[in-house]
Amino acid sequence: MYPIDNLIIFTGRNGISQKRAVSFFLAALCLLSITGCSPDVNEISDIALVTAAAIDYDVVTNKYSFSAFCVMPSNTSQEKTSALTQWVSSATGKTPLDAARKMRSRVGKNLIFQHNKFFIISESAAKHSLFEVMDYLSRKREFRLTAYPIIVQGQASDKLKLGTESGDMLSNDLLGQVRNNKLSGQDVALTIKDFVDLFENPTRGFVAGRIKTKSSETNKKEFLTVTGGAVIYKQKFAGWVDGNDVLILNSLSKKKVWKDIEFNDVIHSKNGSVFSALFHEKDLEIHGDIQNGRPKMSVYLKYIASVEDVNKDSDVGDSRVILQMEQAASIHLEKKIKKSLAFFQKKLKIDVLGFSDYYSQYHSKAWKTMQKDWETLYPMIPIQVHVTVLFEKSGMTTFIKEES
Amino acid sequence: MESLHASASANLQELKRLYTGNELFTFQNIGKSNANDKAVIIYLNSLVDEKRLNQFIIRKMNMDLRENSGPAGQVLLDSLHTLGDVTILSEIKEIINHLADANFVLIIDGHVEAYAMKLPGFETRSIDEPQVELNIRGPREAFTEDLQKNLGMVLRRIKSPQLKAKSFVIGKDSQTKVMLLYLDDRTDPKVLNELNRRMDAIQLDVLDDSMQIEEWIQDSTFSPFPQVLNTERPDRVVTAMNRGKIVIMTDGTPCALITPSTFFEMLHPSEDQFERFYFANFLRIIRLITLIVSLIGPSFYIALTTFHLEMIPTPLLMTFLSAKSGIPFPTFIEALIMEVAFEVLREASMRLPRIMGQSVSIVGALIIGEAAVQSGIVSRPMVIVVAMTGIASFTIPYYSTAIALRLLRFPLMFLTSLTGMFGLSIGMFIVIFHVCSLRFCGVLYLDPIGSEGYKDSIKKIFLPPVRYRARLKRERSELDVPNRQSHYFHGKEWD
Amino acid sequence: MKEKITHFQLGFLLFGFIAGFESMFLTESKLMKQDVWIANLFNTAAGIGLLWIISFVQRQFPNLNLTEICDKLLGRWFSKVLLCVYLLNNLETESGGFRAVSMFYTTVILPNTSSDYLIFLYTACSTYAVYIGLGTLARTNLAILPFFLLGFLVTCLFIIPEIQTNPFLPQLKSSLPNRVVGSIHLFTFTFSQVITFGFLMSRVENMKKIFPSCAIAILMTSIYLIMISYLTLSSVGFNYVQTSTYPFFSMIQMVKFGEYLERIEVLLVGLWTVLTLVYIVIMQYVFTLVAGHVFGISKMKPFVVAIGLLCFVHTSKSYIRTADHFTYGIKIYPLSSLLPCVAFPVILLVLTLIKRRREVKSL
């Protein structure tokens, strides 16, 4: 093409030559002709978001029902305010997928599950066919791995129809409650990922989230609250756990769970004073030993706390007073933890705290023999609880003189 | 080519024949017009300063002729020598060239040579402020169309004898003068030789602009990326020469070409050199970001909103939902409409006179920004995305690079609308691959990437304080551009 | 004459080659769980050993490339047979790579798009890259890797809060067959392909430095693999890794910045797609190189396109079911790749040593 081309060096024309350019344009034309044909396109103007879903199972008819709380904009883009239309649609089918497909085909919009953060699973579905439901939820990338599967007493689909106290969207309200768990520590925010991971573990059970209906204190309507937990063992629902037990469960779990939780408690001191304090877990150590082929565990907990109110005049600036309060608080917490542990061990008889994981990781030899009769061993494990409480903050008033 | 006759009138006849129809061709007889010692002055009217010629030169010649005895031809020649620098010509072709170059030519009867002297009489633009490469700090003069003035601006800044200048005459008809400037101790001789060869190989009838030279000497004709940097700032030329670049200056063009240029050099204006280095580097990082934004902005938006909805935060998606409802077009078409509208607007405001251009851009912004949204043709987020992309592309100072990115945006949008992030990533792979494959005279276009030494690479991408900036070694054997085989590619991949 | 690359670039190519492709499946983590480090250690040692063999052979014949060395050592016909075996293995691996990408996309991200279409786009892209050549590929790889490393760093930083268990405990509890299969599996999918790089070694400027720079690359890749195994197992959990088809992908799904920007996995997958493309381009490049030599092709330019077409056709006809792909990867491939990837270099080494001894004797 160029006269310099026949020179020996520097002839490596590395870019695009004429022929290549022509073929490039042809390829570009081909690409042009098939644009917009992709079957995977979800145009934003055609979609409705699912922000919460509910799965029911009817034992008699053997059918699943799938309900979705959908949201779509009710206005057009010209208006500046963005009001949203919300509705619940549902369908029944032989499998979770069947139900979900039916529901999707009946809705006029393209339902998008990617932003769904809550799967509410009814008690009967959890009891009788949890495996099918979880399998369906974990197989598709559509469903967030970080969504929360939550078990509810009774029917699940009608819970979606309940309003919220604030009037906000249901999912926002639930999300807010999960976020506010750090104020009480009374609910479990277990994601699908953890659910599936624990689900497969044959020796231990675990606690998933629970939703309850609660009537409002200001009017007669019923609302949903996320509190307490549902025990799942051997891929089945096995019972409910109270909020207080869930708090202890959270305290004894991984750091990720308890690091933000700050709960309050009322403590009766020996000298008759009653005070309440906020507790924040600082450190947790769980030790397991084996004595005579039997497991033995001890738990060390460290809390920092702050005094919030005191019923009678006492000088919280005085270190003796604080020491007394600390003692009272640690005794109180130890009792509380022991009570919950007793509930898990003696009453529930399910290893929801994952002691079996501990033994299989750190005492893997002994675990081999223990594994077979873990179910009988577990309720008998003696667990020692040691709690230390440190009152770091005592508030802006240290001492109020009571009028006598 | 024919050499000259001894007879002046024969030469004159020949020239008259060549210039038939050109009314600018003028000749004046000198002295007495007897046949033996006829002398004629020939020039092209309006190229030559006629006033000085008549009032001063011809008058002086006639005077000398009257006062001195001896052969008239010799007297005239002596007289001419006292007036200035005389070029001796022996061929008709040379005469033509010199006439075109604002010379007047003296033909004397009995001489087989002609004598030319430069006497330019045309007007040139005076030195102005830069129009395209604006700056806040730093020199404020720009090249003009006059090569001599431009050379003056450059030579004033470098006084080293190492500064070499080689001239070429390009264009069969235009006979345009082109200068190759470089600092001999810093330039890579391989690149220089190759560039010389490419300059020699240029075949043009008329050289209008340095763009033509650029096209001829670049390696890849069909690449969308500009491979030669052009500048209107003499200070930039000097900086470049100091870094071992070769500068090509063309008569009649207010732009100098800097070769071999790399992509990163085209990304940054010369003003970076004159800023505090923190700020300069901050700007460089910003420009790297805007480079990516202006290339993939709309594609990324398409990928997110049509394929990967899960990546958009839920509250934002709700906003998008209400913004997009009622828009009749798919996102891709919407993006295409807006992009094309934006390009039209940009082009319109650029071609109009400056005052009108501003009003056009305001009207256009109003139309696109408000009316299109109001009437439900495009959605608000799309307007934001396209506007952001457009503004991002304006931060790239070098116009041709910005154009390349703007063009590449469209195929990337196509690919993305087909397969989402998959298409975008393989599209980007092809773009990066193509840029990596480019070379100029064997020098990598994406220079610091792929050349050895990470310290030097960082110095090329970012700007250290002045005292730490890379100084080229004085020894040619230790040149910054090392003599490595991988750095120079001599052969073809598949033969 | 062909464009040369530096030893540096070759090392980075090796890193990009393995880091991109291997990270998606992590099959060995599924098999070995907490003992996955064994597989990685074995893999590193075997990889460096293989690298030493090949770079040693190459250094004995600095002016020849590996195909020519084969001809010289083995005789023309026997070398052709062995190279053909290698070509088969290369083609299998390459189709497996193409299929892995298309399958990943069709199961996870673009469920309705035809996989042939994705494969076509991918082959077109890789054929273009092969056409332009190795030097450009090496530089492109250098340009891409910073982005990849940045993405990886972000993943690491944001996945650390999700870490729940120590994934390397209890030690040595996986079964012996699983350990063997897992190690061999990892090796065949990663460093056994050093043989592919053997064909590129003659293009390196400074041959003495091939071994150190590639050994460093192998070490870095191993560190990378151990890191992602650690992160995946510890954050996703053993049981989930066991059930998940793409454990690493499940892991990056959990990366989130606060509560607002979640699920940025698609960005990371984009980077992964590009690096896998590097993997495939290298395979296809070497295939073209070796096939051109074996079949004595004189006009290489159209041949490059023909090879691209061959790859497309072969891929679109093989491993159509996901299960086929997995069965092949775990059961057949580790065995079938032993001959071309391990026996082949060892034969070359032995012959080189014999030849050297003879030369010494004759002197």
What pairing do the DSSP bridges indicate for beta strands C261-262 and C256-257? Answer: antiparallel
Specify the pLDDT at position C127: 92
Distance in angstroms (rounded) separating the CA atoms of residues B78 and B69: 12
Q: Of the candidates B303, B422, B429, which has its C-beta nearest C118's C-beta?
A: B422
Distance in angstroms (rounded) separating the CA atoms of residues A140 and A102: 17
* CB contact at 8 A, A122 and A55: yes
User: 3-state secondary structure string, A90-141?
Assistant: EEEECCHHHHHHHHHHHCCCEEECCCCCEEEEEHHHHHHCHHHHHHHHHHCC
More confident residue, B395 or A39: B395
Specify the pLDDT at position B453: 63
pLDDT tier, C220 (very low <50, low <70, confident <90, very high otherwise) = very high
Q: Which residue of B has its CA nearest to C302?
A: B494
Are B288 and B421 part of one and the same domain? yes
Distance in angstroms (rounded) separating the CA atoms of residues C340 and C89: 7
Other C-beta atoms within 10 Å of C53: how many?
21
| Percent composition of chain B: helix, strand, coil (DSSP 3-state, to 5) | 50, 15, 35
Specify the pLDDT at position A18: 62
User: CB of C262 within 8 Å of any CB in chain A?
Assistant: yes
Distance in angstroms (rounded) separating the CA atoms of residues A70 and A50: 4
**Segment among A339-343, A361-365, C269-273 with least mean pLDDT:** A361-365
As beta bridge partners, residue B271 has: none
pLDDT tier, B151 (very low <50, low <70, confident <90, very high otherwise) = very high
Q: What residues contact C55, with CB distance under 8 A and at least 6 apart?
A: C198, C201, C207, C210, C211, C214
Are B87 and B29 part of one and the same domain? yes
Distance between alpha carbon B207 and the CA centroid of its chain, in Å?
13
**b/e sequence B467-494, b meaning 16+ C-beta within 10 Å:** eeeeebeeeeeebbbeeeebbbbeebbb
Distance from CA of B196 to the nearest CA of A (A): 11
**B292, part of any domain:** yes
Question: Which residues in chain A are closer than 8 Å to B330, comparing Cβ atoms?
Answer: 36, 41, 43
**Segment among C116-120, C122-126, C258-262, C307-311 with least mean pLDDT:** C258-262
pLDDT tier, A396 (very low <50, low <70, confident <90, very high otherwise) = confident
Chain-chain contact of A197 with C236 (C-beta, under 8 angstroms) = yes
**B3, part of any domain:** no
Are B193 and B290 part of one and the same domain? no
**B461, part of any domain:** no
Per-residue tokens: C14: 């090796």
Residue A7 confidence (pLDDT) above 50: no
Chain-chain contact of C166 with A144 (C-beta, under 8 angstroms) = no
Residue B257 confidence (pLDDT) above 90: yes
| Percent composition of chain A: helix, strand, coil (DSSP 3-state, to 5) | 35, 30, 35
Tens-place pLDDT, residues B28-61: 888 765 555 678 888 888 888 888 888 888 888 8
Q: Of the candidates C110, C161, C240, which has its C-beta nearest A256's C-beta?
A: C161
Q: If you average pLDDT over every residue of chain B, what do you get?
A: 83
Distance in angstroms (rounded) separating the CA atoms of residues A146 and A159: 21
As beta bridge partners, residue A34 has: none
Are B285 and B409 part of one and the same domain? yes
* Contacts of A among chains (3+ CB pairs under 8 A): B, C
Q: Nearest CA to B270 among B226, B232, B305?
A: B232
Distance from CA of A88 to the nearest CA of B (A): 17
Are B18 and B99 part of one and the same domain? yes
Chain-chain contact of A145 with C111 (C-beta, under 8 angstroms) = no
pLDDT tier, B248 (very low <50, low <70, confident <90, very high otherwise) = very high
pLDDT tier, A82 (very low <50, low <70, confident <90, very high otherwise) = low
Distance between alpha carbon A150 and the CA centroid of its chain, in Å?
8
Specify the pLDDT at position A32: 59
Chain-chain contact of C3 with A12 (C-beta, under 8 angstroms) = yes
Distance in angstroms (rounded) separating the CA atoms of residues A94 and A63: 5
Distance in angstroms (rounded) separating the CA atoms of residues A369 and A117: 41
* CB contact at 8 A, C92 and C280: no
User: CB of C105 within 8 Å of any CB in chain B?
Assistant: yes
What pairing do the DSSP bridges indicate for beta strands B176-183 and B246-250? Answer: antiparallel
Q: Which among A69-78, C39-48, C163-172 has the top mean pLDDT? A: C39-48
Are B225 and B281 part of one and the same domain? no
As beta bridge partners, residue A212 has: A225
Are B64 and B213 part of one and the same domain? no
**Arithmetic mean of pLDDT, B198-221:** 87
Specify the pLDDT at position A8: 34
The total of structural domains in chain B comes to: 3
Chain-chain contact of A200 with C161 (C-beta, under 8 angstroms) = no
CATH class held by domain A256-404 = alpha beta
Chain-chain contact of C4 with B485 (C-beta, under 8 angstroms) = yes
Chain-chain contact of A84 with B379 (C-beta, under 8 angstroms) = no
Q: Which domain holds residue B75?
A: 8-118
Residue B480 confidence (pLDDT) above 50: no
Run of H or E residues at B343? helix B331-351
Residue A347 confidence (pLDDT) above 50: yes
Specify the pLDDT at position C239: 84
Q: DSSP alpha helices (H): ranges in A188-289?
A: 192-199, 243-251, 255-258
Residue C363 confidence (pLDDT) above 90: no
Specify the pLDDT at position B474: 42
Residue A322 confidence (pLDDT) above 80: yes
**B200, part of any domain:** yes
Tens-place pLDDT, residues B183-195: 888 888 888 888 8
Specify the pLDDT at position B429: 93
pLDDT tier, B486 (very low <50, low <70, confident <90, very high otherwise) = very low
Q: What residues contact B371, with CB distance under 8 A and at least 6 apart?
A: none
Per-residue tokens: C102: 């298309």
Q: Which domain holds residue C259?
A: 7-362
**Arithmetic mean of pLDDT, A306-319:** 79
**B472, part of any domain:** no
As beta bridge partners, residue A280 has: A262, A304
Tens-place pLDDT, residues C60-100: 888 888 888 888 888 888 889 989 999 999 998 899 889 88
Q: What spatial distance separates the first Cα and last Cα of chain A, rounded to whole Å?
A: 110
Specify the pLDDT at position A37: 63
Residue A11 confidence (pLDDT) above 50: no
Q: Of the candidates C164, C170, C263, which has its C-beta nearest A254's C-beta?
A: C164
Question: Which residues in chain A are closer than 8 Å to B201, comparing Cβ atoms?
Answer: 2-4
**C349, part of any domain:** yes
**B132, part of any domain:** no
Q: If you average pLDDT over every residue of chain A, what do you get?
A: 82
Distance in angstroms (rounded) separating the CA atoms of residues A159 and A196: 24
The total of structural domains in chain C comes to: 1
Specify the pLDDT at position A77: 47
**C1, part of any domain:** no
Distance in angstroms (rounded) separating the CA atoms of residues C40 and C249: 20
Location of structure tokens 């580097």:
B281
Tens-place pLDDT, residues C251-268: 888 888 777 777 788 888
Are B279 and B255 part of one and the same domain? no
Specify the pLDDT at position B71: 79
Q: What residues contact B57, with CB distance under 8 A and at least 6 apart?
A: B83, B104, B119
> Domain holding C291: CATH number?
1.10.4160.10
Distance from CA of C156 to the nearest CA of A (A): 16
Distance in angstroms (rounded) separating the CA atoms of residues A14 and C132: 7
* CB contact at 8 A, B327 and A38: no
**Arithmetic mean of pLDDT, B310-318:** 86
Q: Of the candidates B426, B437, B489, which has its C-beta nearest C273's C-beta?
A: B426
**Segment among A8-12, B222-226, C101-105 with least mean pLDDT:** A8-12
Specify the pLDDT at position C288: 92
Specify the pLDDT at position A46: 83
Q: Which of B99, B118, B137 is where one domain is finished? A: B118
Distance in angstroms (rounded) separating the CA atoms of residues B170 and B202: 7
Per-residue tokens: B432: 């990066």
**Arithmetic mean of pLDDT, A269-284:** 85
**B105, part of any domain:** yes
Residue C341 confidence (pLDDT) above 80: yes
Specify the pLDDT at position B492: 62
Q: Of the candidates B222, B318, B376, which has its C-beta nearest A76's C-beta?
A: B376
Are B222 and B334 part of one and the same domain? no
**Arithmetic mean of pLDDT, C166-181:** 78
Question: Which residues in chain B are closer than 8 Å to C128, comparing Cβ atoms?
Answer: 430, 433
**Arithmetic mean of pLDDT, A315-343:** 86
Distance in angstroms (rounded) separating the CA atoms of residues C141 and C122: 17
Query: Domain locations in chain A?
Result: 256-404
Distance in angstroms (rounded) separating the CA atoms of residues C281 and C283: 5
Location of structure tokens 């308890």:
A258
* CB contact at 8 A, A306 and A395: yes
Q: Of the candidates C113, C124, C164, which has its C-beta nearest A256's C-beta?
A: C164
* CB contact at 8 A, A351 and A378: yes
Distance from CA of B187 to the nearest CA of A (A): 17
**B238, part of any domain:** yes
User: CB of A40 within 8 Å of any CB in chain C?
Assistant: yes
Residue B484 confidence (pLDDT) above 50: no
Distance in angstroms (rounded) separating the CA atoms of residues C349 and C61: 12
pLDDT tier, A2 (very low <50, low <70, confident <90, very high otherwise) = very low
Are B246 and B302 part of one and the same domain? no
Tens-place pLDDT, residues B417-474: 888 899 999 999 999 999 988 888 878 888 777 766 666 777 778 888 877 775 544 4
**b/e sequence A294-305, b meaning 16+ C-beta within 10 Å:** ebebebebbbbb
Distance in angstroms (rounded) separating the CA atoms of residues C124 and A211: 53
What pairing do the DSSP bridges indicate for beta strands A148-152 and A206-215? Answer: parallel
pLDDT tier, C313 (very low <50, low <70, confident <90, very high otherwise) = very high
Are B104 and B26 part of one and the same domain? yes
> What is the interface pTM, i.e. ipTM, of the complex?
0.93
